[in-house]
Amino acid sequence: MAAMKAVHEQNNMGLQISSKDKDQTHHRSSSLVLVEKIDGLIRVYRDGHVERPQIVPCVGSSLAPDLGVTCGDTIIDKYTNVWARVYVPRKKQQQLPLLVYFHGGGFCVGSASWICYHDFLAKLASSVNCVVVSVNYRLAPENPLPAAYDDGVVALGWLRKQQFAGGGGEWWTERCDFSSIVLAGDSAGANIAYNVAVRVVTPTLPLKGLVLIQPFFGGEARTDSEKYMVQPPRSALTLAASDTYWRLSLPAGADRDHPWCNPAAAAGKVEELTAARVRVLVCVSEMDILRDRNLEFCERLRNNTKGGGGGGGGGGGGGRKVEQVVSKGVGHAFQILDKSPLSQTRVLELISHINNFIISTCSS
């Protein structure tokens, strides 16, 4: 309980701002030179000062009882303040697949405690019947890449320690099947899941699969959807915002053809996933500026699958199976930010696809 309290205190620091603090912040900001901004989300000043308005509420770990999910926070690394929110279904007592999730936000904003992620992942844990560990990693530009990847690797190492801790482990570990681990995330979180996987995967590591929802990749050459996809005024991701996120998160001097941004530049990494037989589900949104880049990524995965074929579901052969689903009529981050009736229908479909993928992946 003390550790969970510490997480909440750390998580809420800076969110409760007094009028005096606001005056000081305004005075400080007015005297600084703004170098990067995404309206409503982040402002970065020349001296390194960063402001993130609380556009999305942060919430504690409590959930409605009728969801049938127990939730709690736990510290992964107290030195870097990396922590996780864990969701455990109550309805079945056998060991369950473990889904390690990374939130989106262009590597620069977002939190495992954002209400949109809290609600979505609680629903996912309940519907898919898996344990979800939602990792709260360090953000750029204060911690540029590869900090988020490092935190993901540390989180997996921490999970392995929990696996062998016996009775001294976390309260939820006895519910986990540590031989059935799936990495997942949306947007920048999907990028993190992919890059963590290619760092840690070996033929002996029990990493079963990847669920990549609208993975945030880029490149210097524009795709058609990046150039021509018309976005509504309050779109979750515009081309200008995408470019800003990459400038803030990539190493100094790197462009969008850096391997962390453009996986086509990472020679040999896909083959390592193939050798380890990691299955991949890529979830694409039809109205997302990332649509074409996501589809190109799927095609590249299929082409690097030994003995694999094309087609909508991908090929398996001697390597990995690649699956893709396209959510019609919805845009980037619809599953957490869009409450329209169409979007809610697509969310149910998305969760069904993830459920089927995890069932087939973890039973193989």
Longest dimension (CA), the chain: 64
Structure tokens at 149: 């990847």
Catalytic residue set? 187, 288, 332
Q: How far is CA 73 from the centre of its chain?
A: 17
| Strand ranges, E, within 207-319 | 207-213, 279-285
| CA torsion angle 332 336 341 346 (round to 10) | 60
Exposed/middle/buried for residue 21 (C-beta within 10 Å: 0-12, 13-18, 19+): exposed
Please name the residues in contact with 195: beta carbons below 8 A apart, sequence gap of 6 or more: 146, 149, 152, 260
* Residue 302, H or E segment: helix 291-303
Yes or no: say if 102 and 193 are a contact pair by the CB < 8 Å rule.
Answer: yes
CA distance 102 to 107: 10
